C-alpha cells in the first residue's frame, strides 16, 4: 500500500514535468507555397503545411490583397474565389483559386486550434508579380 502511494506520487510528478512541453507545442505553419516573403508569378493555389494534424472545422483562413502596384492606399481586399482541401493527414491545406492571383501583395491569414485546444493565429505574406 505504501509503495503504491509512492508510485502514484512519482507518476503525478512525471505528468507534471511533461506538461510544459505539451503546452509549448502550439500549432504553427512550418511550410507554405508561396513561401513567406517571396515573389512569385501568378499562383493558382496557396498551400499551408501545419506543424500538426488539425481538425478542419477549427481552421479559418483568408487571402487578403494588401497592396496593388501603382495604387496608393489600396486598402485590404479579401479574395474569396477559392475552394479548399486537406491532405497529408490533415496537416496540409490547399486553397485552389478559380483565377490566379493578380499582381500585388498578399497575406494569407489563418487561425487554428491545436491538440491542446488553444486557438493560434498567423499569416504568410508574399508578393505576386
Residue 26 or 123 with smaller CB distance to Cu ion: 26
Place of cell 501545419: 50
Stretch that binds Cu ion, among 7-15, 85-93, 94-102, 114-122 (CB under 5 A): 114-122
Burial class (CB in 10 A: 0-12, 13-18, 19+), 32: buried
Contacts of 122 (CB under 8 A, 6+ apart): 28, 29, 109, 110, 111
* Contact indicator for 82, 98 with CB cutoff of 8 Å: yes
For residues 4 to 43, the per-residue mask of contacts with Cu ion, x marking binding by CB under 5 A and - elsewhere, is ----------------------x-----------------
CB of 112 to Cu ion, least distance (A): 11
User: Residue length, the chain?
Assistant: 129
118 is a site residue for Cu ion (CB under 5 A): yes
Contacts with Cu ion in 49-68 (CB under 5 A)? none
| Chain residues that interact with Cu ion, rule: CB under 5 A | 26, 116, 118
Amino acid at each position: 500500500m505504501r509503495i503504491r502511494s509512492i508510485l502514484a506520487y512519482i507518476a503525478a510528478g512525471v505528468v507534471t514535468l511533461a506538461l510544459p512541453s505539451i503546452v509549448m507545442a502550439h500549432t504553427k505553419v512550418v511550410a507554405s507555397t508561396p513561401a513567406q516573403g517571396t515573389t512569385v508569378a501568378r499562383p493558382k493555389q496557396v498551400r499551408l503545411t501545419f506543424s500538426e494534424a488539425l481538425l478542419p472545422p477549427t481552421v479559418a483562413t483568408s487571402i487578403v490583397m494588401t497592396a496593388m502596384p501603382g495604387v496608393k492606399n489600396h486598402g485590404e481586399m479579401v479574395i474569396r474565389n477559392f475552394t479548399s482541401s486537406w491532405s497529408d493527414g490533415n496537416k496540409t491545406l490547399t486553397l485552389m483559386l478559380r483565377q490566379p492571383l493578380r499582381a500585388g501583395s498578399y497575406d494569407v491569414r489563418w487561425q487554428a486550434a491545436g491538440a491542446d485546444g488553444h486557438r493560434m493565429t498567423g499569416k504568410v505574406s508574399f508578393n505576386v508579380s
